[in-house]
Chains A and B, each alone.
Chain A
């Protein structure tokens, strides 16, 4: 979100013990780190990876929902879905811009996504089979995203935190429009009800996986917490999500597809919360690695968009160049 001019500055630091301690002191004092500040290479690397994956997720995330824009059941639903998908595109842009302040170019990140070497959230490698999936995505997938994103508004890296504040402000309608779709379907005909239930059955477990591996298995968690890139652990956010969603599913009179789901008065330090059954992490890893037909389809769609849009980028640059030359002649 800052200039290329600023990016030319060398912010690499000699990582002496004093430097690292002083950096940690700034973090502990809740001071934000800004683009030109000196920072440890690992801090920069962690952020580039995380923000890049986040940006790719927003962009690839436009595809499953985009699939239903032309088939939305009413004009109202179509307008809302179009606005939501447009928002996700904007989120991708804010995040790429935040990553660029760390010295990585947009072109490089896009290249990594298209080459299949960059990760994005595994949730977007599932297909959207019915209109109810659009409801379930807004309700569960955006719901889980919001849980993850709210603490990121206080991330120690200034440009990332500012991008997240914008994103969270825009996200709030996404979950509500999804829940509204689910409400309508669950109060409709028996066919509509079973569509809603089927969507919940398919999106529930992938949504829980959006919070990432269990704390004990999470490689990057501890250091990220220390640097205040992350504020809460994967498991605590997942717990918060489940506790919020279960009563909403009850309102919809839909059944969460987990036979082991039950109220546990011991959870949340005795305040109570829901216990859930085991998560299939093999599936998570398979989908994350991009195995399966949907993953290939997502990358195919992104490559096609990039390639068929190439002439627009070239024309824009050629036009700017021609005008610059014409102006130079006049002057």
Chain B
């Protein structure tokens, strides 16, 4: 088998006003062919009106083994949430 065809991650925006969302991946030689293939594969039933493709190797990801130290600290910082604070009776619009 010849050279490996690069992998691209595909993001589709369902409609204006929403963010692009990851829908899957595919193999293509360049961005133009990746966009064409993404249209053929991921938007056959009105799934969106805009596509982004990005080379998979250009994505950096956080390490799941460090998910606890990365993301758990926010759980004990309750003072970051409005429910941590008491509002006196009768006070409104706060």
Are A316 and B30 within 8 A (Cβ)? Answer: yes
Kindly state the separation between the CA atoms of A305 and B60 in the bound complex, as whole angstroms: 35
A123 CB → nearest B CB, Å: 24
CB-based nearest A residue for B9: A3
For the complex, is B1 an interface residue (Cβ under 8 Å from A)?
Answer: yes
Contact of B24 among A1, A36, A86, A323 (CB under 8 A): A1
B64 and A34 form a contact (CB under 8 A): yes
Kindly state whether residue A87 has any CB partner on chain B within 8 Å: yes
Evaluate whether A94 and B24 lie within 8 angstroms (CB atoms) in the complex, with A3-B7, A4-B56, A5-B60 already known. Answer: yes
Instruction: Give the number of A-B contacts (CB < 8 Å).
Output: 86
Is B80 among interface residues, defined by CB-CB distance under 8 A?
Answer: no
Q: Distance in Å from the Cβ of A126 to the closest Cβ of chain B?
A: 28
Q: How many residues of B contact A (CB 8 A)?
A: 31
Task: Tell me the nearest residue of chain A to B24, going by C-beta.
Answer: A1
A75-98: which have CB < 8 Å to B? 83, 86-87, 90, 93-94, 97
Known contacts being A37-B64, A38-B65, A317-B2, is A97 close to B29, with CB within 8 Å? no
Bound complex: CA of A170 vs CA of B27, how far in Å? 21
Q: How far is the CA of A314 from the CA of B28 in the complex (A)?
A: 11
CB contact between B3 and one of A6, A37, A166, A317 (< 8 Å): that residue: A317
Q: A4-B56, A90-B44, A97-B24 are in contact. Are A36 and B63 (CB under 8 A)?
A: yes
A178 to B80, CA, bound (A): 56
Bound-complex Cα distance A319 to B34 (A): 13
Contact A2 B56 (CB under 8 A): yes
Query: Is A163 interfacial (CB-CB < 8 Å)?
Result: yes
Are B24 and A3 in contact, CB atoms less than 8 angstroms apart?
A: no
Please state if B5 and A313 are interface contacts (CB–CB under 8 Å).
yes
A158 → chain B closest CB, angstroms: 12
Known interface pairs A2-B9, A38-B65, A90-B44. Does A319 touch B30 (Cβ–Cβ under 8 Å)?
yes
Taking A83-B44, A313-B5 as given, write out 11 further A-B residue pairs in contact, using a Cβ cutoff of 8 Å, ordered by the A residue number.
A2-B9, A2-B56, A4-B6, A4-B7, A5-B61, A6-B56, A9-B63, A107-B1, A310-B2, A313-B2, A317-B5
